[in-house]
A and B are shown apart, each in its own frame.
Chain A
Amino acid sequence: MKVKMTVARAMVEVLKSEGVEIIFGIPGAAIYPFYDALYSSDIKHVLVRTEQAAVHEASGYARTTGKVGVCVATSGPGATNLITGIATAYMDSVPIVAITGQVNSSLIGRDVFQEVDITGATAPFTKHNYLVKDPKKIVKVLKEAFYIASTGRRGPVLIDVPVDIQLQEIEFEFTAEIDIPGYKPKEKGHPLQIKRAAEAIENSQRPVVCSGGGVIASGASEELRILVEKQKIPVISTLMGIGSIPTDHPYYLGMIGSHGQKEANLALRQADLLIVIGARLADRALGDTKITENMKIIHIDIDPAEIGKNVDTNIPIVGDAKQVLSEINKRISERKDFWAQEIKAQKKEIKEDDKLRPYDVLKEISRAYNGDYIITTDVGQHQIWAAHNVYIKEPGTFITSGGLGTMGYGVPAAIGAKFGRPDKEVISITGDGSFQMLLQELATIKREQVPVKIVLFNNTRLGMVYELQKRKCSGRFIATCLDGNPDFMILAKAYDIQSMRIDRKEQVKEAVETMKNFKGPFLLEVIINPEEPTIPH
């Protein structure tokens, strides 16, 4: 059935049909018809304070719900402000649809007010993007965008719609099937490769599973657990893979890489078979570890381009991790011994003293909540402290910017996560450097009364770079001291956010208890010694 309506209205209709309940964004002159159409719909709009935060919030929402996150901005600076957020989502394979307004289609290319070539600018880090010039194509484009964003290796898709196109009337009709000749994601692994993989696992002496973000994205945690428990395989994870198996699982050795845990890197070095699942093993993940010819590699990934990119693979399997693992599981037997017992036993507890350390707080949070939370982090020392010390029970409850390393990601991601999972406690672990990158989102928290908890580790430093300068520049510290920091207690008060500051170890328990019991948004500031290392010696 055809109905006459404007393109803007049709956009809202498609969003509704895709199950979109919430949009993050900021309006502007080039996107006003879309906002006008939004006025009379049930879709909730969250007004952010800078467009980058809109993408991060959509990302937090998408990563906790499995749905596509949607964000909107106007043309020009609105669109360019999205860029860091889009690149962040691209590197972490998060399904996002970003809608931008564009100047009048007859003016494109003339450098008019607030004009920018956003499809050109975002081509390197969107999965795909569209500039809609034909109003009749809007339904097809939007439906394709959701399909592309949410299937295969997921990622952000941007749609740029000129303001005059949004105002045009079309005969609205839902297009039926989506058929994109150049896009046919492959989910089923090749049976022969699966057979070879199962044999290689059976024949290996010291197999290791390296679990990446792909395991979480594909919902393959249960299949992973069955595989490693049957074959008694130690599991190491990338930063993005944390939570793919509970961090207290007896076979979990921790995160690998330059900022990883010793046990995990040790297991990687000793392995004769490495099973990489949904990870790309980029520079930080491998760290100093060399992949030798003696190590066989099985690489399972839904993106064929990841296989063979960073490490040579003996058995490549292109497919969805969940499907591939369940096929492999059918073909393997039970193994008797867990070869990495010795490595696991080496795990040392950190020496206790009376100083306040970041892990005191993180361990207390883990204990008090027992994993019933969603953790988001920013980027820096606190991110690694969290990756090593927070208990993660369920997949998808550790949300961090792993690929791009975007400071400022954590608090907006927490806001998005809370909208996605209001039933869960959402805790954002941040540092004073990262927190101030998208500080204005405290206004979004206040406006929408989002009850997120923020744990702010304050060492008045850009800690990770400070540490780098200490090590590599013989202490010639430049631009890493944040001595212009505000009083975060007064700042929180300005946004009507309850807050508390601690600087002694004995305050930790009570502080976490207070935070846990408080119903609204809460900021817990923890004063940390600037010399505190990222990884304890």
Chain B
Amino acid sequence: MIGNLETRVCYQKEKKKTFRIGGCKEVKYTLSVLVENHPGVLSRVAGLFSRRGFNIDSLAVGVTEDPTISRMTIVVNGDDYIVEQVTKQLNKLIDVIKVKKLNPKEAVERELALIKVNANSQTRSDIIQITEIFRANIIDVSKETLTIEISGDEDKIEALIELLKQYGIREVVRTGLIAIERGNKVISKSKSEEDD
């Protein structure tokens, strides 16, 4: 979560009551954002979220097949109003080329996590079994620990972490969600008139 701005979010909800009509059901949304690969773009995007009072669940960024363009996957928690505002405000940034809200049914979502868990001679084989069930990999072993690499959707990772808790988790690193649309659909890199 970048910036804890509970008060501002509350203000927006308050505002909805007085200015706006309709409910405000909070849902998780996944946004794919194509940006120019310039220095400072990440801070512009992150800054926008904090100053407008939007909460980010996760943000992952990396370069695309075109080295001048990076792609961010942002998971936002909010209602329709917040997501519409996030999308519009992101589009206002000059470095942002395209913002697309992904439909979870038509997209593949993955996250990578590295988990360092306590392991001794008694527990090691149990942990290895669990790892196999999850189709995860052991990528490092020491006398006292095992480091597991897992990729999958959020639920799968949460489930593994839950199971490993009994052995004592030392550290968890997660990349944040990345997502891509299913089938032959791609996000176009030009901002056309119809987008707005």
Which residues does A use to contact B, with CB under 8 Å? 119-120, 123-124, 127-128, 131, 148, 180-184, 186, 188, 286, 290-291, 293, 303-305, 308-312, 318
Give every chain A residue within 8 A of B35 (Cβ-Cβ): 182
Q: Which 10 A-B pairs have the closest CB atoms?
A: A305-B88, A128-B94, A182-B97, A184-B191, A304-B196, A312-B20, A181-B97, A183-B94, A182-B96, A318-B196
Q: Quick one: which of B99-154 are within 8 Å of A by CB?
A: none
Q: Is the CB of A182 within 8 A of B95?
A: yes
Q: Is the CB of A305 within 8 A of B85?
A: yes
B89 part of interface (Cβ distance < 8 Å): yes
Q: Quick one: which of B56-99 are within 8 Å of A by CB?
A: 81, 84-85, 88-89, 91-98
Give every chain A residue within 8 A of B162 (Cβ-Cβ): none
Q: Contact partner of B44 among A123, A180, A181, A311, CB < 8 A?
A: A123
Q: Is the CB of B19 within 8 A of A181?
A: no
Minimal Cβ-Cβ distance residue in B for A131: B40
Q: Is the CB of A181 within 8 A of B43?
A: no
- Considering the chains assembled together, what is the distance between the CA atoms of A124 and B49 in angstroms? 11
- Considering the chains assembled together, what is the distance between the CA atoms of A291 and B193 in angstroms? 31
B170 part of interface (Cβ distance < 8 Å): no
Q: Contact partner of A181 among B15, B47, B85, B189, CB < 8 A?
A: B189
Q: Contact partner of B193 among A127, A131, A184, A310, CB < 8 A?
A: A184
Give every chain A residue within 8 A of B88 (Cβ-Cβ): 304-305, 309
Minimal Cβ-Cβ distance residue in A for B89: A305
Q: Contact partner of B196 among A128, A148, A186, CB < 8 A?
A: A186
Q: Is the CB of A308 within 8 A of B36?
A: no
Q: Contact partner of B84 among A124, A148, A286, A308, CB < 8 A?
A: A308
B183 part of interface (Cβ distance < 8 Å): no
23 A-B residue contacts at CB 8 Å?
A119-B40, A123-B44, A124-B47, A127-B94, A128-B94, A181-B189, A181-B191, A182-B36, A182-B95, A182-B191, A186-B193, A304-B88, A304-B91, A305-B89, A305-B91, A305-B92, A308-B81, A308-B84, A309-B85, A309-B88, A310-B19, A312-B22, A318-B196
Minimal Cβ-Cβ distance residue in B for A180: B94
Give every chain A residue within 8 A of B21 (Cβ-Cβ): 293, 312
CB distance from B69 to the nearest CB of A (A): 8
CB distance from A96 to the nearest CB of B (A): 15
- Considering the chains assembled together, what is the distance between the CA atoms of A188 and B196 in angstroms? 12
Minimal Cβ-Cβ distance residue in B for A318: B196
- Considering the chains assembled together, what is the distance between the CA atoms of A366 and B163 in angstroms? 79
B18 part of interface (Cβ distance < 8 Å): yes
What string of 1s and 0s marks CB contacts (under 8 Å) between B11-30 and chain A? Answer: 00001001111100000000
Q: Is the interface of A mostly helix, strand, loop or mixed?
A: loop
B190 part of interface (Cβ distance < 8 Å): yes
What string of 1s and 0s marks CB contacts (under 8 Å) between B178-196 and chain A? Answer: 0000000000011111001
Give every chain B residue within 8 A of A312 (Cβ-Cβ): 19-22
- For chain B, give the interface size range: 20 to 34
What string of 1s and 0s marks CB contacts (under 8 Å) between B26-46 and chain A? Answer: 000000000110001001100
- Most chain A CB within a 10 A radius of its CB, from B44, B81, B89: B44
- Considering the chains assembled together, what is the distance between the CA atoms of A470 and B89 in angstroms? 39
Q: Is the CB of A182 within 8 A of B93?
A: yes
- Considering the chains assembled together, what is the distance between the CA atoms of A128 and B44 in angstroms? 10
Give every chain B residue within 8 A of A184 (Cβ-Cβ): 191-193
Give every chain B residue within 8 A of A124 (Cβ-Cβ): 47, 51
Known: A127-B94, A293-B21. A181 touches B196 (CB 8 A): no
Give every chain B residue within 8 A of A183 (Cβ-Cβ): 94, 191
CB distance from A514 to the nearest CB of B (A): 49
- Considering the chains assembled together, what is the distance between the CA atoms of A18 and B36 in angstroms? 26
Known: A182-B35, A182-B191. A148 touches B94 (CB 8 A): yes
Q: Contact partner of A311 among B19, B85, B93, B189, CB < 8 A?
A: B19
Give every chain A residue within 8 A of B18 (Cβ-Cβ): 290
Give every chain B residue within 8 A of A119 (Cβ-Cβ): 40
CB distance from B4 to the nearest CB of A (A): 18
CB distance from B42 to the nearest CB of A (A): 12
Q: A182-B95, A184-B191 are in contact. List 16 more A-B contacts (CB 8 A).
A: A123-B44, A181-B36, A181-B190, A182-B35, A182-B94, A182-B191, A186-B196, A188-B193, A305-B85, A305-B88, A305-B92, A308-B84, A309-B85, A309-B88, A310-B15, A311-B20
- Considering the chains assembled together, what is the distance between the CA atoms of A186 and B191 in angstroms? 11
- Considering the chains assembled together, what is the distance between the CA atoms of A181 and B95 in angstroms? 8
- Considering the chains assembled together, what is the distance between the CA atoms of A318 and B85 in angstroms? 15
- Considering the chains assembled together, what is the distance between the CA atoms of A215 and B192 in angstroms? 25
CB distance from A304 to the nearest CB of B (A): 5
Q: Is the CB of A291 within 8 A of B19?
A: yes
- Considering the chains assembled together, what is the distance between the CA atoms of A211 and B21 in angstroms? 23
Give every chain B residue within 8 A of A181 (Cβ-Cβ): 36, 97, 189-191
Minimal Cβ-Cβ distance residue in B for A181: B97
- Considering the chains assembled together, what is the distance between the CA atoms of A312 and B20 in angstroms? 5
Minimal Cβ-Cβ distance residue in B for A128: B94
- Considering the chains assembled together, what is the distance between the CA atoms of A311 and B47 in angstroms? 24
Minimal Cβ-Cβ distance residue in A for B84: A308
CB distance from B133 to the nearest CB of A (A): 45
- Considering the chains assembled together, what is the distance between the CA atoms of A127 and B89 in angstroms? 11
Give every chain A residue within 8 A of B92 (Cβ-Cβ): 303, 305
Minimal Cβ-Cβ distance residue in B for A313: B20
Minimal Cβ-Cβ distance residue in B for A312: B20
Minimal Cβ-Cβ distance residue in A for B189: A181
- Most chain B CB within a 10 A radius of its CB, from A123, A182, A286: A182
- Considering the chains assembled together, what is the distance between the CA atoms of A273 and B15 in angstroms? 21
- Considering the chains assembled together, what is the distance between the CA atoms of A182 and B19 in angstroms? 31
CB distance from B119 to the nearest CB of A (A): 42
- Most chain B CB within a 10 A radius of its CB, from A181, A183, A311: A181
CB distance from B46 to the nearest CB of A (A): 10
Give every chain B residue within 8 A of A308 (Cβ-Cβ): 81, 84-85
- Considering the chains assembled together, what is the distance between the CA atoms of A308 and B20 in angstroms? 9
- Considering the chains assembled together, what is the distance between the CA atoms of A124 and B48 in angstroms? 7
Give every chain B residue within 8 A of A311 (Cβ-Cβ): 19-20
